[in-house]
Every structure is written in structure tokens, then in C-alpha cells.
Structure 1
Amino acid sequence: MSTAASAGPADLFRRGLRMLIDKDIRAWVGLWSEEGVLEFPFAPAGWPKRLEGKAAVADYMRHYPDHIDLHDFPDVKVHETSERGTIVVEMRGVGRVVETGEPFDMTYVAVVTVSGGLITHYRDYWNPLAVSPGGATDFTRGDR
């Protein structure tokens, strides 16, 4: 059995956070199943609410390090659920906004499902009031 397939959801998630801090988006996307779904229930107008498939997740995340320089996830709390392979994570990401140098400090709650050692579903409950569409933290735009 591969290391990825034997990793539990919490271990896989924490490894993914390390990859984001290391700006290794390719490796982070490698933690996803081909059919993985990434949802943003609180996404403001103009932002995607649902991404279907590993390729869509990769496309969405490809510019992230160009816009957000993550330094740490200092407060990570993983909650096991009664649903096999599903965890709920409370966390805080800190760093800086690359374009302005301003601090970046975002609190998240994520519901993550892992099957076969890969992420199959990720619901990201982040605060849309902390960013403005088209602003410096709009890391999905490729024109920056």
C-alpha cells in the first residue's frame, strides 16, 4: 500500500498545508482524486462556488503563490466525524499579500473527505468579507 493511500484524512490534510506553505501547488493538487470537488459555499459574486475535477482545482490554484505568501497555519484543529474519511478542520492561515506586502490572516473551516488516500471533496468555508473580488487577494486571476 502506498504512503498516500495509507495516510488518514488528518495526516493527508496536514501534509497538504505544508505543501501550501512550501508553495508546492503541483504537489498539493497531487493529493486530489481526478474527480475531486472543491466548493466555496460563501464565495462572493464573481468567484467560483464549485470546481469539479483535479484539472479545475489545479487551474484555480496555479497563481496562488503569486498573490498570497503563506507563512504558517498556526491554529489547526482537526475534528474526526462519524462519516468515514471525513474530517472538519478549523484553521488560520497567516502570511502576506504579495502585491501590497500587507498581512494576510484568514480563518477557515473546511469539511474534507478523503478516499483511497486522495481528497475527493473539500468544502472551504472562508470569510469573503476579508477579500475583495479583483483585489490583491484575488489569486484566481492570471493577469497579475
Structure 2
Amino acid sequence: MIDLMLAKDMNAVAELWAPDGIAEFPFAAGSSPRVLRGRDEVRAYLAHYPDLMDMKEVAALTVRPTDQADTVVVEWTATGLTVATSRPYRLDYIVVLTVRDGLIALYRDYWSPLSAAAASGGLAGLIDSFEGRNT
């Protein structure tokens, strides 16, 4: 999946999901979705990612097995450039990943909405969304 993200092939990334696979973002804030249900929602969510964030490298990657054979915990750090500002970013992720029949059944991504908003230049808008203001 990371190789496909670095290649900016978001359609191929979405194909890694089971047709009924779920992506959850427990810390999502503002207008970001908390749950995506099914491959098609994942595909739509990822479609414009390369227009926002130009991921250049995975600076760190650790995969930790769990006591469930189909589930791992993945810690990774992405670095790159924010497309709108051309500013560098570094974002850390912790993902709990469960596979079924070789496809992603559950992808629970614990990313920081504050770090992502700061990297993309959208921190003011995120703060406004917390306070109930529209920008």
C-alpha cells in the first residue's frame, strides 16, 4: 500500500480494500469523515489526495504483530510537500490493519487532524470548525 501511495496510484490503493472493507479515522475532525464503508467510498476519499499532499518518502515504518493472525499495528511516518504551499511536512500515523482473504477488511487510522491541518495550511479552518464558525 505504501509503495502505491508513493507512486500516487490511489485507484490501486483502493483496490486493496475488500468490497465491504471499512476505513475508520477515530481522531477525524472538521469536515473529515470518521468512517468510510466499502471500497468505493475509500476510492472517492483517496482520489484527490495527491492534489493535496505530495508524499515523497516513508521515513519510518514498524509493523507489530498482534495475537490475532489477521491483524497488525503499523507505525509509520510520511514526509513530503503540501501541494498548495510547497511546504515540507512530516506526519506520523498509527494504523490497526485487519485483512481478510488478502484484502483490507478494517483500516483504523489514528492520525492527528491538527498535524495534518497544519501541514496542509488548513489549521485556521479546522479551528473554526471546532468553534462552530464557517470560514
TM above 0.5, yes or no, is yes
Q: Report the residue type matching 1:46 in the other structure.
A: S
Runs of 4+ in 1 over 4 A off after TM superposition: 135-138
Aligned to 2:126: none
Asked if 2 retains the 8 angstrom alpha-carbon contact of 1:85 and 1:115, the reply is: yes
Match of 1:119 among 104, 112, 120: 104
CA distance in 2, matches of 1:109, 1:47: 17
Return 5+ residue gaps in structure 2 as ranges.
124-135
Match of 1:84 among 65, 69, 82: 69
**More deviation, 39-48/58-67:** 39-48
Identity of aligned residues (%): 37
Give the secondary structure class of the aligned counterpart of 1:131.
helix
Give the secondary structure class of the aligned counterpart of 2:41.
helix
Give how far 1:137 is off.
6.4
Say whether residues 1:35 and 2:26 are aligned partners: no
Say whether residues 1:96 and 2:81 are aligned partners: yes
Say whether residues 1:62 and 2:47 are aligned partners: yes
Q: CA RMSD in A?
A: 1.7
* Structure possessing the higher relative contact order (Cα contacts under 8 Å, 6 or more residues apart): 1
Give the secondary structure class of the aligned counterpart of 2:43.
helix
Task: Summarize deviations over 1:92-123 as a string: whole Å, max 9, x none.
Answer: 00000011101121000000001101001000
Q: TM-score under structure 1 normalisation?
A: 0.80
Match of 1:129 among 114, 118, 129: 114
Asked if 2 retains the 8 angstrom alpha-carbon contact of 1:97 and 1:137, the reply is: no
CA distance in 1, matches of 2:117, 2:53: 14
Give how far 1:129 is off.
1.2
Asked if 2 retains the 8 angstrom alpha-carbon contact of 1:68 and 1:137, the reply is: no
Give the secondary structure class of the aligned counterpart of 1:75.
strand
CA distance in 1, matches of 2:70, 2:6: 24
